[in-house]
Chains A and B, each alone.
Chain A
Amino acid sequence: MIDKRLFSLPGTKKLFIMLAGLTLLQAFAILFQGKFLAEALVNSWEQKSLQTIIQPMTFFAVAFILRHCFNWINNKIVENYAENTSEEVRSRLLDKVYTSGPAMISAEGTGSLVTSALDGIDLIENYFKLIFTKLMNMSIIPPVLLVYIYMQNLASGITLTVIVPLVILFMIILGLAAQAKADAQYHQYTILSNHFLDALRGLPTLKMLGLSKRYAKNIYTVSDEYRRRTMNTLRIAILSTFALDWLTTLGIAILAVFLGLGLINNSFPLFPALVTLILAPEYFLPLRDFSSDYHATLNGKNALSAIFKILEFKDTDEEDTLDNFTWDKNSEVNIKDLVFNYTRDQSNADSSLDIDQLKLSGYTNIGVIGKSGSGKTTLIRALGGFLTPDKGVITVNGKSLKHFKQRAWQDELTFLPQSPYLFAGTIAENIAFYAPESTEEQIETAAKKAGLTDFIDSLSLGYQTIIGEGGRGISGGQQQRIMLARAFLANDRHILIFDEPTAHLDIETEYALKKPMKELFKDHLVIFATHRLHWIKEMDYVIVMNNGQIAEQGTPDELSNHNGAYKQLISNMRGDQNELL
């Protein structure tokens, strides 16, 4: 029921002790509340005057209020704990994104991480709140009351003791039946429940196919089918709550009957009978509470284990092997026998990697080409330090490394992905991303080099225009230019890594971007993955990837004079359309 890893979170043990104390106090408040109420009622029953009940009635009121005050304190403590702990978890989660970032993101998926960090945290906060209180209430309150009831009336004590295992047994049996039924229907069920959203999203398509009008009938039919199935499942699913309710209320009824018969037979006075009857619902209450909110508890538990799974993701070590490192025209990287395999649960659209030998040196421009899934992106990401190779011999300026996830190496990098990510913020902030301390003038110079000046001048807020998620949507071409400006501004970084930067752009935009990009290439080591062939002309060296291996490498001239993988790939990419020439 409780995840043991919970105790690894700060404050959990202390919370447990405090809650146990408070719940015990609460149990006694409940007990006294019942006792004094019974006393007052017995006096009224004996037709005694108002004076005789003032004292028990006051004590009853005090106990009642105390009970709810303890509950108030209890809630406050648990809610504080839940908030602090879930914040702690969120903070650890963000640290994790930063430290093992991309490798983990590719394993988990962006959507699932955002959901974990936002909705997941809310779920676990709620889970913390529910689970501790309920668990404590159930393990402390009923025993305390039961001991008192045994002291008052043995038969009632036995009745109440016997019912509990019955309740649990029924709930388990019915819970399992409901689970089996739900599991059997689950598949159909999710399809049906998503059908409506699917239809809404597909509406334009249905319209194109001339089906949209007729489909309205289908919406009703499917929705009604969903209703029918839901009702079928629900009938069984809420049976367990029904059984719990039934046994507890029937328990009270049976108790009342027993007590009534006992009283007639004159075996005990009214007070013990009445106090037992009053306390019986309180005895069952924690049990009923425990089974309610079952789904909230379950969702919270799942969210928590999803987050723990992320937190337990292995970090890379030896990140600071490379120190005092700068890249210049004499620098050199040598890679031998580098192997990287995606784990099974990673989304591997691209191939795994197996590189025999590769050398990067000075300010050369290196093109990486290959068909989709050939391992281009994997190679680029391994070089960027986003993926940690399983094995390999890497030397950078003579220093041997296990992987490229080196702070000093990454400080030399600028990364320009296929779909650039712009942050919610101003254009200026986005340009100054690698160099947040830059002056306005430096930012404007960089923007000018990237050919952004005209675009920015056309905006009423200029450099202060908000872009990114919440801001103004801008075209793919301008986004790439902002990335270029970013790279121009970060001129202390000497390695540029491009991953298909122009794949989504129309040909004229691409044509226009070529000039600033060529300018940027100067005095940089450029690693450029692309399937746009014209870039090859700008490259000093080309790597042809196939199946995660380097199929061929050399200068473009060497490769085009040799009838190998390079020529084959180029002719495939061009298609059979050379007839225009």
Chain B
Amino acid sequence: MNFFKTFKHDTWVKPYIKQYKGLLITVLLLGLVTSICASALMFTSGYTIDKAATHPVNILLIYVPILLTRAFGIGRPTFKYIERLKSHNWVLRVTSNLRTRLYTTLESDAAFLNEHHKTGDIMGLLSEDISHLQNLYLRTVFPTVISYLLTIIGSLVLGIYNPAFGFFVFLLLAIEVLIVPLASVAIESARRERQKQIKADLYTNLTDNILGADDWIISGRKDDFKNLSAKNISELNTSKNKSKSFRRNRDLFLQLIFAGIAICFIIFTNLTMTDGQEQANFVSAVVLCLFPLSETFIPVSQGYEEWPEYRDSILRLNTLKPVENNLPKQVELDPADFSDIEINNIDFEYDADSPILIKNFSQEIKKGQKVALLGPSGIGKTTILQLILGDLTPQKGTIKVNGHNVQEIQEHREQIFSVLNQKPFLFNTSIMNNVRLGNENKSDSEVKSALEKVGLKNLVESLPDKYETLVGENGSNFSGGEQERLALARILLQDAPVVLLDEPTVGLDPITENDLLTTFFSVLHDKTIIWVTHHLQGIDHVDHVIFMNSEEIEMQGSPHELYQTNKHFNELYKMDQGL
């Protein structure tokens, strides 16, 4: 069965069960005690009444059961309360470990997260997987284990009294907690899978409906607009109805079995416990103690049913493997000594099947030089930046910094290179914290002076929380231009000699773009800059322009020289300027 296959090579569930074993056992015991208290409360109550009905001469004779009744009455909620706290505590502890582990695993592949996991929001997905594991414990594992322990203990206790009856009850309970749950998974698993798929399609449909609403309205195709999602909705509902109907029937069936068990108890007590009043006083106790247990046994199927969802999460997490780094021996390079980057005849392709992206590219970049890299999208401009950083290695040719292969300076790479891309990532914390990430040793006043240099001082000081203002999720409290400036301040603190700019102004309006580029090049005047851009706005800030096409370097030179001598450049420049 695929259940065992899932866990065969699992490293995300099993090891953590062992890690906080003591706490885990406490949780399970508390859960067990809670159920036992619930049952025992009815047992002692039943006995108290039966015993009292025999009019014992001395009230002391029912004193013990009364005391026990109270104790169990208080015990059940108390143990349940503690159990809930402890189980959450255990799960959250495990979560902290899982998160750290997920982070470290992804960290080893940090530069390529986006390339290697293209489909959708993989980060969101993985972080949700960890929440699924939390639910796996809280909703499936704990209740199931507790119900199994209870089944065994209950059957054993009955078995001591009457082995045949104990075994018979064990079989009936096994239907409730094992057979029906397994059947549930078997029947529902495929259906749930299908529902998940339709739901994903529906998500696409509805996004089409809403993101494309403008176009739909203009087109006047109202019926098509509604039909877009109709098919998936009806298919989803049909499937969900089957699930619901299955669940209703299953729960009814479970109740019928439970009724059967109750009848067995009534008959059994009548047959075996009516040979004397002392014994008969236990009749109600034995029968009544059964009923609270339905709360423990019946939900097991529900917990099982959620298994496919958890299985997907476990499998996905287990496919993540830390990436080995095979870096050569690292050399120390003092940032102050940086002199040049030499790119020598490199070829690059992502894998053997994809076409060669970069062919025979060479370039020498001297300290302090400002270089712009232009070309149509998809031509590999960003790839060149990744090659320079050493995140990618060329199949042929070398990239050297001060004569060292760039792979040899990866350990303290951040001292040599800093990067600013189109959508700089801002963490959802204060402005101060975000900027200081550039260099954690800098004082508040150094952070403030960096913000002043990038032209944000007035804006920030006009905000009610000033430097402690939260930037919002993904920097959403600030405009695109402001986000770029915040990231630039971060880079100023980082103070690396080489700055790579990857289309930092795409999508901004020309006025903002001009202002931003002016700021970039003035605050970074002493740095070496490699700037990937998609048009010619601000091109006169650089010393050297490289135009790439899919074959080769189409033209290169200083912007002034190209404007004078190259017709194509001249046309593009004029178009950009609206001349």
- Check: B368 CB closer than 8 A to any chain A CB: no
17 contacts between A and B (CB under 8 A): A47-B274, A79-B244, A203-B103, A209-B414, A210-B414, A211-B437, A219-B99, A249-B38, A249-B72, A264-B55, A281-B42, A372-B509, A423-B208, A469-B207, A477-B377, A511-B572, A534-B575
Asked if B208 and A213 make an inter-chain contact with CB atoms under 8 angstroms apart, the answer reads no
* Chain A hits for B274, CB < 8 A: 44, 47-48
- Check: B74 CB closer than 8 A to any chain A CB: yes
Please, how many angstroms separate the alpha-carbon atoms of A41 and B270 in the complex? 8
Q: Mark B81-104, 1 if CB is under 8 A from A, else 0.
A: 100110011001101110110111
* CB nearest neighbor in A for B517: A575
Asked if B103 and A199 make an inter-chain contact with CB atoms under 8 angstroms apart, the answer reads yes
- Check: A132 CB closer than 8 A to any chain B CB: no
Asked if B514 and A572 make an inter-chain contact with CB atoms under 8 angstroms apart, the answer reads yes
* Chain B hits for A213, CB < 8 A: 107
| Number of residue pairs A-B, CB distance < 8 angstroms | 431
**Minimum distance in angstroms from B51 CB to a CB of chain A:** 7
Number of B positions contacting A (CB below 8 A):
166
Please, how many angstroms separate the alpha-carbon atoms of A219 and B101 in the complex? 9
Taking CB atoms and an 8 Å cut-off, the chain B residues in 104-131 that contact chain A are: 104, 106-107, 110-111, 113-114, 123-124, 126-127, 130
Given A114-B210, A506-B377, A533-B577, A238-B84 contact (CB < 8 Å): yes
* Chain B hits for A97, CB < 8 A: 209-210, 213
Tell me which of A61, A110, A253, A577 contacts B538 (CB under 8 A): A577
Q: Mark B404-445, 1 if CB is under 8 A from A, else 0.
A: 000000001111011100001101110000000110100000
Asked if A423 and B229 make an inter-chain contact with CB atoms under 8 angstroms apart, the answer reads no
* Chain A hits for B511, CB < 8 A: 371-372, 572-573
* CB nearest neighbor in B for A579: B540
- Check: A89 CB closer than 8 A to any chain B CB: no
Given A65-B259, A194-B428, A201-B425, A407-B220 contact (CB < 8 Å): yes
- Check: B284 CB closer than 8 A to any chain A CB: yes
Asked if B100 and A223 make an inter-chain contact with CB atoms under 8 angstroms apart, the answer reads yes
**Minimum distance in angstroms from B425 CB to a CB of chain A:** 4
Asked if B123 and A506 make an inter-chain contact with CB atoms under 8 angstroms apart, the answer reads no
Asked if B378 and A475 make an inter-chain contact with CB atoms under 8 angstroms apart, the answer reads yes
* Chain B hits for A216, CB < 8 A: 100, 103-104, 107
Asked if B215 and A264 make an inter-chain contact with CB atoms under 8 angstroms apart, the answer reads no
Tell me which of B123, B209, B214 contacts A201 (CB under 8 A): B123
Given A205-B425, A506-B375, A57-B217 contact (CB < 8 Å): no
Asked if B273 and A209 make an inter-chain contact with CB atoms under 8 angstroms apart, the answer reads no
Tell me which of A47, A196, A421, A508 contacts B376 (CB under 8 A): A508
* CB nearest neighbor in A for B65: A260
Give the one of A64, A203, A269, A572 with max B CB within 10 A: A203
Asked if A574 and B89 make an inter-chain contact with CB atoms under 8 angstroms apart, the answer reads no
* CB nearest neighbor in B for A580: B563
- Check: B306 CB closer than 8 A to any chain A CB: no
- Check: B463 CB closer than 8 A to any chain A CB: no
* Chain A hits for B8, CB < 8 A: none
* Chain A hits for B111, CB < 8 A: 204, 207
- In order of increasing CB-CB distance, the 4 nearest A-B pairs are A533-B578, A210-B414, A253-B73, A256-B45
- Check: A98 CB closer than 8 A to any chain B CB: yes
* Chain A hits for B96, CB < 8 A: 220, 223-224, 226-227
**With A203-B110, A231-B92 given, can you name 12 additional A-B contacts, CB distance below 8 Å?**
A43-B270, A44-B266, A48-B274, A191-B428, A198-B473, A208-B417, A252-B45, A253-B45, A371-B511, A509-B377, A577-B539, A577-B540
**Minimum distance in angstroms from B101 CB to a CB of chain A:** 9
Asked if A203 and B514 make an inter-chain contact with CB atoms under 8 angstroms apart, the answer reads no
A-binding segment of B25-33, B149-157, B197-205, B352-360:
B197-205
Asked if A197 and B49 make an inter-chain contact with CB atoms under 8 angstroms apart, the answer reads no
* Chain A hits for B575, CB < 8 A: 507, 510-511, 514, 534
- Check: B534 CB closer than 8 A to any chain A CB: yes
B-binding segment of A69-77, A293-301, A354-362:
A69-77
- Check: A128 CB closer than 8 A to any chain B CB: no
- Check: A444 CB closer than 8 A to any chain B CB: no
* CB nearest neighbor in A for B428: A198
* Chain A hits for B458, CB < 8 A: none
A-binding segment of B176-184, B287-295, B311-319:
B287-295
* CB nearest neighbor in A for B130: A196
Asked if A94 and B209 make an inter-chain contact with CB atoms under 8 angstroms apart, the answer reads yes
Asked if A57 and B267 make an inter-chain contact with CB atoms under 8 angstroms apart, the answer reads yes
Asked if B213 and A105 make an inter-chain contact with CB atoms under 8 angstroms apart, the answer reads yes
Please, how many angstroms separate the alpha-carbon atoms of A95 and B213 in the complex? 11
Asked if A507 and B534 make an inter-chain contact with CB atoms under 8 angstroms apart, the answer reads yes
* Chain A hits for B259, CB < 8 A: 61, 64-65, 68
**Minimum distance in angstroms from A408 CB to a CB of chain B:** 10
* Chain A hits for B269, CB < 8 A: 44
A-binding segment of B16-24, B161-169, B275-283, B446-454:
B275-283
Tell me which of A197, A210, A235, A260 contacts B52 (CB under 8 A): A260
Asked if A117 and B210 make an inter-chain contact with CB atoms under 8 angstroms apart, the answer reads yes
Please, how many angstroms separate the alpha-carbon atoms of A196 and B126 in the complex? 11
**Minimum distance in angstroms from B546 CB to a CB of chain A:** 14
Please, how many angstroms separate the alpha-carbon atoms of A312 and B248 in the complex? 36
* Chain A hits for B292, CB < 8 A: 281
* Chain A hits for B287, CB < 8 A: 37, 41
**Minimum distance in angstroms from B209 CB to a CB of chain A:** 6
* CB nearest neighbor in A for B66: A257
* Chain A hits for B65, CB < 8 A: 260
Given A226-B92, A573-B514, A114-B206 contact (CB < 8 Å): yes
- Check: B483 CB closer than 8 A to any chain A CB: no
Give the one of B56, B494, B534 with max A CB within 10 A: B534
* Chain A hits for B263, CB < 8 A: 57, 60-61
Asked if A50 and B418 make an inter-chain contact with CB atoms under 8 angstroms apart, the answer reads no
Q: Mark B538-579, 1 if CB is under 8 A from A, else 0.
A: 111000000000000000000110010000000111111111
Asked if B53 and A270 make an inter-chain contact with CB atoms under 8 angstroms apart, the answer reads yes
Give the one of A202, A249, A423 with max B CB within 10 A: A249
* CB nearest neighbor in A for B73: A253
Asked if A415 and B215 make an inter-chain contact with CB atoms under 8 angstroms apart, the answer reads yes
- Check: B221 CB closer than 8 A to any chain A CB: yes
Asked if A72 and B123 make an inter-chain contact with CB atoms under 8 angstroms apart, the answer reads no
